[in-house]
Structure 1
Amino acid sequence: MSIRYKSAAESRITISELMLPSHSNFSGKIHGGYILSLLDQIAFACASKHSRAYCVTASVDTVDFLNPIEIGELVTMRASINYVGRTSMVVGIRVEAENIQTGVVKHCNSSYFTMVARDDDGHSLEVDGLVLDDLTTIKRFLKALKRMEMKRKRTDEFDHEDFTPDDYMKELEKYKVKVTYRE
C-alpha cells in the first residue's frame, strides 16, 4: 500500500462561538474548562478530517492561557495538523477572542493535542502523511518533534528506577520548598 499525503490546509478547521454568561466562572471570565472542551472538540475534528477516522485524545502537551476571555467576545479557534506519526497526529490550536463592538482581537491560548486514529474495533489506525509545503508547516513539524524529544528526555531523567533526589538538592534550594524527604 502506498502512503498518501495531505497538506495541513486540507485538514484545517476553524470554529467561532459567541461567549455567553453561562460559559463564565465566578470571576466573570470565560471558564478555562469550557475552553478546554472546545479545544478537544476542534482537535478531534481536525485529526478526524486528516485521518478520515475516529480519533481519541492521547495527550494534551501544552495549554497556555495567555489572556482572559470576556462574556460577549467572539472566540475563534484555528486547528491545524502540525505533525503526523504512524497512528498519531499533533494538532496545534490557536485561540483568539474578538471584542465584536471594538473589533479588537487578542491571542488567548495556544494548545497542542496529540490525537490517535482508531478503527471500528478501537485499534490504532495508520494515518496519511503530511505535506510540508511552506516555512510555517516545516517549523510546526520541527517544533512538535522538539516537544516530543523534551518529553522523552524528562521521562528518562525522572522515571528510571535508580532516580535519587540527592542529585537535585542544590537546584531545589533555589525554590520556595522545604524538602523533608530522606531515604
Structure 2
Amino acid sequence: MQGRTAGNSFTVMNELVLPNDTNSFGNLMGGRLMYWMDIAAALAAMKHSNTPSMTASVDNISFKNPIKLGNIVHIEAKVTRSFNTSMEIHLKVWGEDSVHQYQYESNEAYFTFVALDPNGKPRPVPPIIPETEEEIKLYEGALRRRQLRLILAGKMKPDDANELKALFNK
C-alpha cells in the first residue's frame, strides 16, 4: 500500500457559536465542541484512508480558553500516524472574536480512528509520510501515545511498551 503525506489529510472546519451551542455562562459547551472535533477528525481520517472510519478513542481534552457566544470556532485536523487499521489524528482548536479581531487558542487533542470495510470490519490504511518538522515530531511521538492508550485500555502490558519506557530509561 502506497503511503500518503500527512498534509493530504489536512482538514479545516469552522463553526459559528450560536445561542443553542452555549451554556448559561455564554461559553461554547464542551460537548458541542467535542462533537465538532469528532466530525473534523472523521473527515481527516476518511481523506487519508479513502474509506469510512469510526472513532476508537479520544485522548485528554483540556480547555485552555472558553469560546464565547458569537465567536467563530476554527478546528484543524490532520492524521499524524497510521498503524495497521487505525490512525491518530491531531486536532487544534482556536476561537476567533471577529468584532475585536483576534484569535485565541482553545484546546488540542488526539483522536484515534479505525478504517472500515463495506462490512464494518477494520481494514488496512496507508502509511503516513511526514514532511514538515512539526509532522515529523508528531509522527515520532505517536507510537508512545499509542502505547500509553493501549496500556490504559488494558490491551498492552507496561513492560511491553518499549518506546514509552525509553523516555524514562535514558
Would you call these one fold, judging by a TM-score over 0.5? yes
1:22-78 Cα distance to aligned partner (Å, 9 max, x none): 100122211000001001101111101110101000000121211101001111000
Question: What residue in structure 2 maps to residue 37 of structure 1?
Answer: 35
Greater Cα offset, 60-69 or 76-85: 60-69
Calculate the TM-score normalised by the size of structure 1.
0.81
1:120 corresponds to which of 118, 121, 138: 118
User: Using the alignment, how far apart are the partners of 2:52 and 2:151 within structure 1?
Assistant: 30
Instruction: Say which SS state the counterpart of residue 59 (structure 2) adopts.
Output: strand
Question: What residue in structure 2 maps to residue 142 of structure 1?
Answer: 140
Question: What residue in structure 2 maps to residue 78 of structure 1?
Answer: 76
Aligned residues: 155
Question: What residue in structure 1 maps to residue 65 of structure 2?
Answer: 67
Instruction: Say which SS state the counterpart of residue 83 (structure 1) adopts.
Output: strand
Larger Rg: 1
Instruction: Say which SS state the counterpart of residue 108 (structure 2) adopts.
Output: strand
User: Using the alignment, how far apart are the partners of 1:81 and 1:151 within structure 2?
Assistant: 17
How many angstroms does 1:141 deviate by? 1.0
Structure 2 residues not aligned, in runs of 5+: 159-170
User: Using the alignment, how far apart are the partners of 1:75 and 1:52 within structure 2?
Assistant: 26
How many angstroms does 1:104 deviate by? 1.2
User: Using the alignment, how far apart are the partners of 1:72 and 1:129 within structure 2?
Assistant: 40
How many angstroms does 1:152 deviate by? 4.0
